Structure 1
Amino acid sequence: MLGMKLTFCGAAGTTTGSQHLLEVNGQRILLDCGLYQGRRKDAFEVNCCFPHFDPATIDSVVLSHAHIDHAGNLPNLCKKGFAGNIFATFATRDLCAIMLPDSARIQTSDTKWLNKHRKRQNQPLVEPLYNEIDAEKCLRQFVNLGYNRPMLIANGVKLTFIDAGHILGSAQVLLEVEDEADGQTKRFLFSGDVGRGDNDILRDPVPGTDIDFMLMESTYGGREHELGTGADDKVAEVLNRALKRGGKVIIPCFAVERTQQILYVLHQLFEEKKIPTVDVYVDSPLATNATEIFRLHPECFNDEVYEFLHERRDPFGFEGLTLIRSVEKSKALNEREDQCIIISASGMCEAGRILHHLKNGVGNPRNTIFFVGYCAEQTLGWKLREGWDKVKIFGDEYTVKAKIDIVDSFSGHADHSELLDYFQATSGPKKKVWLIHGEPSRSEALCDALREIHDGEVEVGVLGQTVEF
C-alpha cells in the first residue's frame, strides 16, 4: 500500500503560482503558496479560491523562498482559514516581511484603478485578494529554521532546509518521512528554484543526498544562458561605452537579489577603477528595504562577500551611492542633466518608478537603458530589448532613441546544463522524479534529457494531478 500522495496545485505547465500538496501520515503539508501571475481575470480566478484544497485543512506550509510566485498567496491562505505554521529560513521570513505587504499595496492600488472603470460600466466591484493587515497577520505564523537544522514538523516528518543558491534565504526542502502506511523510510526533495552557482553574492546550491523521490523545477529546460556567471568585464564594457555617450544609465532591476547583485558588481568595478566614478541611485523603496535585509544575513553569502565583511566593508554600499525612498527625491532624479546611474524597479518595466525614468529618458539618444535580467514576452522591458522603435508608457507613445544594452549573466535560475549538473550531483536512487515550474516545452525538454541519463521514472507534473508513492 502506497502511503504518500502529491498533488500539483500550481506551477505545473507554467512557471508561476508554485503550490504542491503533500499528504502523509494523516497530515497535509503545502510546499509553497505562490501567486499565479498572468492576465488579471485569469490570475484572480486562480488565486482567490484554492480549487485543489480547503485552506483550513492544511496542517503546515513549507516555503522554499520569498519570491511572490512562491510566497505571494500566503496571506490569502491564512485569511481563508489556514492556522498552522509556515516554515521558512530566517532570510526568507525577513524578505516576506517587506514583499508581502508590498504585494498587498500593489493589489489595493490595482483594484482601486479597476473599480473606477467597473463602476462607470455598472459592473460589480472587486476586492484585492488581501490587504496589508492580512499580510502582517500571516507573518505571525512563520517559524524560522536555519540551513541544515533538522526539525520535526509533523508526525513522522522531519524537515531540513538545504541552500538552493537562488536568492537570499532560498532553500531546497528535504523531508525525511517515516511512512506509517507502508513502514518505509523515504527521503523526499523539493528543489524550489535552483541557482546557477558562481553567484556574485550567494553560495552555490548544495546537493541533496540519498534522495528517493524528487520534485524538481524546470524553468530553463532546453535553454542555455547566453553568458556564464561572473561577467563583470562585460558590465564594465557596457558602462564605459554608456558613460562616454554623456547621458544617464537607467537599469531596470528586480528589487530583490538583482539590485543587490548589481550593487556588489558596481562596488568592485569602482574599487578596481574599471569604470569612471559616477553617482549611483537605487530608486525603489522595496529594493532599499531589501538591501538592508541582505546586510542582516551573512549566513547566505559566499566566501568572497565574507571577505568583504571581514575587512569591515559594506558589499552593498560605497561612496557615491544613494538609496531613495521618497517620491520627491525620485522625481528630482528626472530633472538632473548630469551623468548618473539609476537602478529602479520593476525589472520588466511594467510598474513602479522605472516607468517615470523611462518616460523621461527613453527619447534621449545620449542615455542608455541597460537590461540585466529576463523580461516576459509583451512587457515593456521585452519590447525595449527587442528593439521596438516606439513604445507606450502611461498610455502615451514615445520614440526610442536611447541606446539599449543587455547582459544576461545575472539570471538566478540554473539553465539546462546546470539543471542536469544539479540533478546528477543529487545522490540517491531518485526512484521517481516529477518536473514542475516550467512552460510545457521547457519541462518536456528537461524530461527527455533526464531520461537519457537516469534509470528511474521521470515525469512532467500535470496541474490537478495526484500521484502516489
Structure 2
Amino acid sequence: MKIHFCGAAGTTTGSQHLLEVNGCRILLDCGMYQGRREEAWHINKDFPYFSPAGVDAVVLSHAHIDHSGNIPNLVKQGFQGNIYSTFATRDLCQLMLADAARIQEHDCAFINKMNKRRGIHQPDVYPTYSEQDAERCMRQFVNIGYDRPIPVVPGVTLTFYDAGHILGAAQVCLDIEDREDGRKKRFLFSGDVGRGDNELLRDPVPVPDVDILLMESTYGGRFHEAPSRDDETFCRAIKEALELGGRVYIPAFAVERTQQLLYLLNRAYHEGTLPLLPVYVDSPMAVGATEIFRIHPECFNKEVYDFLFREKDPFCFEQLRLIRSVGESQALNKMNGQAIIISASGMCEAGRILHHLANNIGDPKNTVLFVGYCAEHTLGRKIMDGWKEVPILGKQYPVRARIREMDSFSGHADHGELLEYFDRTGGPKRNIILVHGEEKATQALAGALRERQANPVSIAQLGSAMVL
C-alpha cells in the first residue's frame, strides 16, 4: 500500500492524496489550488502526479472548494469511477462547483484582458471546466450517510464519521485488507477537523482502532482567541454598533458562516437579547446554501435539531429578508433605517459585499463586523489591519466606519483542539502523516505530537510517495 501526496502538502489548499492498494487507486479529495490567479490556473489545469483515467474511485471529505473544486476537471479528463460523499456534501457541491466554474470564467477573462492591456503576448487562458462540466460530474456521486460502511474497491470498505467542520464534512475511514502483505489496516483521513461545540453541527466523532492517520494541520501552532461559542460577545458587538445609529455590515462566507449567523440571530430574537431590526442576506449563493442546510437535519447538533422541530426553521425569522436580484441588492444602499446586512465574500475579495463597502465604509455611524479569517493581501485583511484608505472596485475609499472582528466562528480546530482530536482518536496510530498546513504550522503540530507519543510523525512533501 502506498500514498502519493498530490496537493495540500506544504500548503493549505488543493487537497489531493492518492492511495494505491490492491491494484486500485483511490483519490482522497480533489481540491482546487487557490492562490494568485495565473499561478492557480496553471496548477489546476493538469494533474501532474497521476492520470485521471487511471483513478478507480474518489472519496470526498467535504464540499469546500480546496477539497472538491477540481472534480469537474478530473471527470472532464477521463475519470469514470464513483465519487463517494455524504448526502449534504453532494448537495453543497452541486451549488459550489457551478459557482466555481462561473468564477473561473470571470477570472480568465480578467487575466486575458490585463495581459492585452499590458502588451503581454501570451495565449489566452481559459477555465479548467465549464458549468456543464460541473453538472456532468454530479452524475458520478454516490452518497452514503455517516457510520454506514460500504465497499469501494476490492478489499477496501469506506465509512464516513462526522468531522464537525461544515455541513456534511466527514472523516474518511478505510478498512483495508492489504493483499500485498496480508494484513488488515484501518486508515483514517481526518479531512478538516471542526472545533466542537459548534452553533449548528455535531462534535467530531472519535474513530477507534486507527493504524494509519493522515491528519490536517491548518492551525498548528496557533490558538483561537475566543471559544467556539461566544454569543454574548457577538450580541454585545451588534448592540454597540447599533448605538452609533448606523447599519452593521457582516462580510461572511456563503456556506456555514452565514447559516451560523442566521441561527444565532434567530435565537437572539426569540430570547429577546437583541432588538428587533431587519436582517438582509445579500448573496445568491448563501441563499441557496441556506436552503440546503434546511434539508440536512442529520448534521445538526441536538440543540439545533430540537429547534428545527419545535420552531420549524432555524434559519428563518420574521425580520429576515433573502436578497437574490441585483436590483434588490442595489436598493439596500438607498434604504433608510438601521439593519444588519450579511453578504459574501468573507474576505471581501468578490461578491456584493464590495458594493456595500464602497457605498458605506466611509460613514462613521456604520460598523463592519468581521467574523472569519481574512488572508494576507485581501481587502478584508487591509480593513482589519487598520488601513485608512482601501481600494474597492478600482477606486480608493476612506475607512471611517467602525471595524470589529471576532474569531469564535472559525470552523477549524486550533493547535490545542487538534491535539485533543488526536488523543480522542483510538488505536495504535503507528503511522501519522501531516498534510494541509503551511510549513510552520505543520512543523509546530508535528513537534507537539512527537512529544506526546513515540510513533513516527511524517510531514507530507508535494509530489512524494510513502509506503504504508
Length-normalised TM-score, structure 2: 0.99
- 1:253, 1:346 within 8 Å by CA — same for their partners in 2? yes
Counterpart AA for 1:59: D
2:74 alignment partner, one of 72, 77, 89: 77
Please provide the CA RMSD for this pair.
0.8
Q: Deviations over 1:417-461 (max 9, x none)?
A: 100000000010001100011110000000000001111111111
1:164 and 1:171 in contact (8 A); partners too: yes
Q: 1:380, CA displacement in angstroms?
A: 0.5
* Structure 1 spans left out of the alignment, 5+ residues: none
Partner residue, 2:85: 88
Which amino acid letter does the alignment assign opposite residue 84 of structure 1?
G
Q: Report how far residue 42 of structure 1 moved.
A: 1.5
Shift of 1:117: 3.1
Query: Which of residues 100, 104, 109 in structure 2 aligns to 1:103?
Result: 100
- 3-state DSSP of counterpart to 2:27: strand
CA-CA distance at 1:6 after TM superposition: 0.5
Listed as ranges, the matches of 1:330-369 within 5 Å are: 330-369=329-368
| Matched position secondary structure for 2:32 | coil
1:282 counterpart residue number: 281
CA contact (8 A) 2:347 2:375 kept: yes
Deviation at 1:144, TM superposition (A): 0.3
SS in 1 for 2:3: strand
In structure 2, what is the Cα distance between the partners aligned to 1:312 and 1:255? 23
What secondary structure sits across from 1:117 in the alignment?
helix
Q: Indicate the SS of the match to 1:342.
A: strand
- Look up the match of 1:320: 319
1:398 aligns to what? 397
Query: Equivalent residues in 2 for 1:9-24 (5 A)?
Result: 9-24=6-21
Aligned equivalents of 1:118, 1:348: Cα separation in 2: 26
Offset of 1:269 from its aligned partner?
1.2
CA contact (8 A) 1:118 1:124 kept: no
User: Which one of 62, 66, 85 corresponds to residue 65 of structure 1?
Assistant: 62
SS in 1 for 2:333: helix
Give the conservation status (yes or no) of the 8 Å contact 1:17–1:36: yes
1:310 and 1:325 mapped to 2: Cα distance?
27
Q: 2 CA distance for matches of 1:313 and 1:119?
A: 54
How many angstroms does 1:119 deviate by? Answer: 4.0
Q: Which moved more, 1:261-270 or 1:287-296?
A: 261-270
Q: CA deviation at 1:375?
A: 0.4
Q: Post-superposition shift, 1:39? A: 1.1
1:233 is matched with: 232
Report the Cα distance in structure 2 between the residues aligned to 1:62 and 1:11, rounded to whole angstroms: 16
Q: 1 CA distance for matches of 2:355 and 2:146? A: 40
- 2:426 is paired with a residue whose SS is coil
Corresponding residue number in structure 1 for 2:443: 444
For structure 2, the 5+ residue unaligned runs are: none
Q: Give TM-score scaled by structure 1 length.
A: 0.98
Mapped to 1, the partners of 2:224 and 2:148 lie a distance apart of: 33
Partner amino acid, structure 2, of 1:225: H
Counterpart AA for 1:339: Q
Matches within 5 A, 1:187-198: 187-198=186-197
Q: Percent identity?
A: 62
Cα deviation, residue 307, structure 1: 1.2
Aligned residues: 466
Q: What displacement does 1:112 show?
A: 2.0
Amino acid at match of 1:233: E
Q: Which amino acid aligns with 2:340?
A: I
Secondary structure in 1 matching 2:207: coil
CA deviation vs aligned residue, 1:184-242 (integer Å, no higher than 9, x gap): 00000000000000000000000110000010000000111000011000001100000
**CA distance, structure 2, for counterparts of residue 333 and residue 433 of structure 1:** 51
1:37 aligned partner? 34
Contact 1:65–1:88 at 8 Å: present in 2 too? yes
Alignment of 1:209-288 (within 5 A): 209-288=208-287
1:251/1:372 contact within 8 Å kept: yes
